[in-house]
């Protein structure tokens, strides 16, 4: 078995070494133009040239949960695209979102501003019952986030394309249920996959349906959010702020208004990073399953986009 690794702006050497150690029966190489044919590939933002030069590829393993950029390439219909199920990302995402929700709920951003100014202050405790958290997208990451939020006694709503049944979580599904989900939500966490249907889904119309004083946490893709609509709704007072980890252009341009807005917190796409050892173990397991003719999780449906 020949395995190619093709990364954009990421050193493939540790992955080549780690995969070769974990799967000694295979031949693992970093791709370069003109490289010999491979059976499987592990990729991150590969160029179209890689796909065109590897017509015999059976499987593309993407080292991330989102495959929207990969599906924009011209891929042969027979090529199977596989995303990571978790590989250590879900617990990181749960940490990030719980931090963001608690920071907002407990007004720690306000305490930070006061202490920076040398001011000793108190704020009246708020009721968790008034801060229903809505998680848009109930895949592996979204489900872990929703369950983690329950530990802190927040009312948790979940929204997904197809019906879900999660104990203790009020689940909504389908486009017809989106308005009801939004109206029941004060803190919105976006973990939707990016597809043609979900691009720009966080816009003036949808965000206006959140409860007054709503807060937005976007940890999915920058193209989900209409930037100017978010700013307008915060400035109008309908939304109280946002914490954003993903952006339409990354790194976020220095002149972007998100940097300077007092009610928007920016982090550099760090909510859930791919963990190499966990990812390699998962990918090797899936390759071995395919060798046996077994089915695997994480196979992407090109029509759905995830």
Tokens of 185: 């939500």
Decide if 150 contacts 178 (C-beta within 8 A).
no
Structural Rg of the chain based on CA atoms:
21
**Is-catalytic flag, 269?**
yes
Alpha-carbon distances of 130 from 154, 183, 215, rounded to whole Å: 9, 13, 12
Judge if pTM exceeds 0.85.
yes
The pLDDT of residue 85: 84
User: Is the four-CA dihedral 112, 116, 118, 119 of positive or negative sign?
Assistant: negative
Contact assessment for residue 272 and residue 219, using Cβ atoms and an 8 Å cutoff: yes
Per-residue pLDDT of the chain (306 residues; tens, 9 = 90+): 999 999 998 999 999 999 999 999 999 999 999 999 999 999 999 999 999 999 999 999 999 878 998 999 999 999 999 998 888 899 999 999 999 999 999 999 999 999 999 999 999 999 999 999 999 999 999 999 999 999 999 999 999 999 999 999 999 999 999 999 999 999 999 999 999 999 999 999 999 999 999 999 999 999 999 999 999 999 999 999 999 999 999 999 999 999 999 999 999 999 999 999 999 999 999 999 999 999 999 999 998 888
Catalytic residue among 269, 276, 292, 304: 269
What does the block give as tokens for 181? 């989900």
Which pLDDT does position 9 carry in this prediction? 87
**Which pLDDT value is given to residue 66?**
84
Q: How far apart are CA 201 and CA 199, in angstroms?
A: 5
Please tell me the distance from the alpha carbon of residue 140 to that of residue 137, in angstroms, as a whole number.
Answer: 9
- What proportions of the chain, in percent to the nearest 5, are helix, strand and coil? 35, 20, 45
pLDDT of residue 145: 98
Catalytic choice (74, 221, 224, 276): 221
Q: Where are the alpha helices (DSSP H) in 152-275?
A: 178-183, 204-208, 227-236
Identify the pLDDT of residue 86. 83
Structure tokens at 35: 């490289």
pLDDT tens-digit series, residues 244-287: 999 999 999 999 999 999 999 999 999 999 999 999 999 999 99
Please work out, in degrees rounded to the nearest 5, the angle formed at the alpha carbon of residue 247 by the alpha carbons of 238 and 11: 155
What pLDDT does residue 87 have?
81
Q: For position 303, what pLDDT does the model report?
A: 87
What's the pLDDT tens digit per position in 182-207? 999 999 999 999 999 999 999 999 99
- Helices vs. strands in the chain: H and E counts, helices first: 9, 12
Q: How far apart are alpha carbons 227 and 236 in whole angstroms?
A: 14
């Amino acid at each position: 078995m020949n395995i190619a690794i093709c990364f954009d702006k990421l050193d493939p050497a540790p992955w080549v070494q780690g995969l070769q150690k974990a799967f000694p029966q295979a031949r693992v190489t970093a791709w370069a133009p003109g490289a010999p044919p491979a059976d499987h590939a592990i990729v991150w933002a590969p160029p179209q040239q890689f796909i065109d030069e590897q017509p015999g590829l059976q499987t593309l393993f993407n080292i991330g949960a989102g495959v929207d950029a990969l599906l924009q390439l011209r891929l042969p219909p027979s090529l199977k695209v596989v995303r990571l199920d978790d590989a250590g990302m879900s617990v990181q995402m749960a940490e990030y979102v719980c931090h963001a929700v608690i920071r907002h709920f407990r007004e720690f951003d306000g305490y930070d501003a006061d202490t920076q100014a040398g001011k000793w202050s108190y704020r009246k405790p708020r009721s968790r019952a008034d801060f229903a958290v809505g998680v848009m997208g109930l895949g592996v990451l979204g489900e872990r986030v929703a369950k983690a939020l329950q530990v802190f006694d927040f009312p948790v709503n979940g929204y997904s394309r197809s019906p879900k049944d999660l104990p203790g979580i009020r689940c909504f599904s389908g486009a017809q249920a989106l308005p009801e989900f939004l109206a029941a939500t004060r803190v919105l966490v976006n973990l939707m996959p990016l597809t043609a249907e979900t691009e720009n889904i966080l816009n003036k119309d949808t965000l206006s349906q959140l409860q007054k004083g709503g807060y937005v946490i976007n940890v999915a893709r920058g193209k989900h959010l209409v930037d100017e609509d978010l700013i307008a709704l915060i400035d109008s007072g309908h939304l109280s702020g946002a914490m954003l980890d993903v952006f339409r252009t990354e790194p976020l341009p220095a002149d972007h208004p998100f940097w300077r807005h007092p009610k928007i917190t920016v982090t550099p796409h760090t909510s859930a990073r791919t963990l190499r050892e966990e990812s390699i173990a998962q990918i090797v397991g899936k390759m071995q399953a395919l060798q046996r003719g077994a089915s695997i999780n994480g196979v992407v449906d090109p029509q759905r986009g995830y």
